[in-house]
Amino acid sequence: MMTKAEVDLYPETLLRQFVQDYLVRLGEGWQEAQICADGILYGAMHAHPGQGQGMGKLFRHTKQIQNGGIQVQARMEFLSDRPATALLDAHKGAGYEAGRLAMQTAMQKATSVWIGCVLVRHSNHYGTSGYYARMAALEGMIGIAFTNAGPEMAPWGAKTPVLGTNPWGIGLPRRSAFPIILDMALTMSGQGMIRWAYREGREIPISWAMTRDGQRTTNPAEVLDGIQLPIGEFKGSGLSFMTDAIAGVLSGAKFGMDCYNDLQDLDVGHCLMAFDPQAFMPLAEFEERLAELVHQVKGAAPIQPGSEILLPGELEYRRAMEAHMHGIPLDRETAAGLIEMAEEIGCLHPFKS
């Protein structure tokens, strides 16, 4: 029997203030709390509630602060700093803060030498990759961000989870419209959407996941602890491997089956890149040519008459605008957990009980 998950809407300002106050109560500095809140709110506004990219991230974030997995007010240290590249040691600090500093540094380098690439080691979950790609796009640059993650995907043809969802973000600047942001995991779905389908009593597509013994199924109950399937079959598996080789192996962070296996030491690795399109042509010319590509894509004949062809990130952009105007959707199960955590540390909250 299908039962739609109950969701309430909350004003963006209320949730942002709550997250900031809550994190300060946990020991984060005010600026650090603002950075983390911005990353969490971005996920809450752009992603589907079931994807777990928003307010639900506070659960693990809280556990890690309490067990030392996240060091509040950590010292971010550049181990190398060259004209176009840098290596950042986050020293177990918040991934949101490490990712933001790394992209800001990449953008500064691109301002000087047209391109910047920063790798990060000893970090934590940094939210959505699209958040960092958008940072560059809003400054007229092309941004690329990717990170490794815990082992949820088996190498193609195997049934042992070794690789992560290892999400990517790529951002393109447009001064006359919203930036085009590709924000995607390298798996067909994630555990969040599988749990959401389970709560609502819905089947999942056969292409999403398989059981621990390697069997595909449409029953979410059979894969709540299952193995995620890659996008594009063996191609997605290959992309995940290459992502881990750069963000994990090359950065000096953990990788493969060792990443994310200890909440006291996730040791995540990131790669943040920015480059200035003006290294190749004037920005106006790039945007004019990009507009022509957009025109061709939007003008493609739809399979279903009357349906709309969307650009990468356009659905998420509309979702964020809707959330900004009418409120951010938060399911009541997540809200109940947040109420419990807030009351434990004496933090005021805006949630409906």
> Could you tell me the pLDDT band of residue 20, with boundaries at 50, 70 and 90?
very high
State pLDDT tens for residues 304-323: 999 999 999 999 999 999 99
Which part of the chain is CATH 3.30.1370.60? Answer: 70-187+230-278
Q: Is the pLDDT of residue 347 over 60?
A: yes
**Segments of the chain assigned to CATH 1.10.1530.10:** 1-67+327-353
For every residue of 38-77, DSSP letters joined together read HHHHHHHHHS-GGG--STTHHHHHHHHHHHTSS-TT---E
Nearest to 162 by CA among 96, 230, 93: 230
Which CATH topology does 1-67+327-353 take? Answer: Hypothetical Oxidoreductase Yiak; Chain: A, domain 1 (1.10.1530)
Find out whether 268 and 145 touch, Cβ atoms under 8 Å. Answer: no
pLDDT tens-digit profile of 225-261? Answer: 899 999 999 999 999 999 999 999 999 999 999 999 9
Q: What is the mean pLDDT of the chain?
A: 95
The label of the residue with tokens 């356009």 reads 314
Task: Pick the closest to residue 154 from 167, 145, 163 (CA basis).
Answer: 163
Number of neighbouring beta carbons within 10 Å of residue 314:
16
Nearest Cα to Cα of residue 142 among 100, 105, 179: 179
**What distance in Å separates the CA atoms of residue 204 and residue 175, rounded to the nearest whole number?**
39
Residue 302 corresponds to which tokens in the numbers above? 């739809």
- Indicate whether 3 pLDDT > 70: no
Q: What's the pTM?
A: 0.95
* Residue 66 · residue 54 · CB < 8 Å: no
The tokens of 85 are what?
């590249």
Which pair of tokens denotes residue 10? 């909350």
Architecture in CATH of 70-187+230-278: 2-Layer Sandwich (3.30)
Nearest residue to 48 via CA among 232, 270, 318, 229: 318
Convert the pLDDT of each residue in 111-143 to its tens digit: 999 999 999 999 999 999 999 999 999 999 999
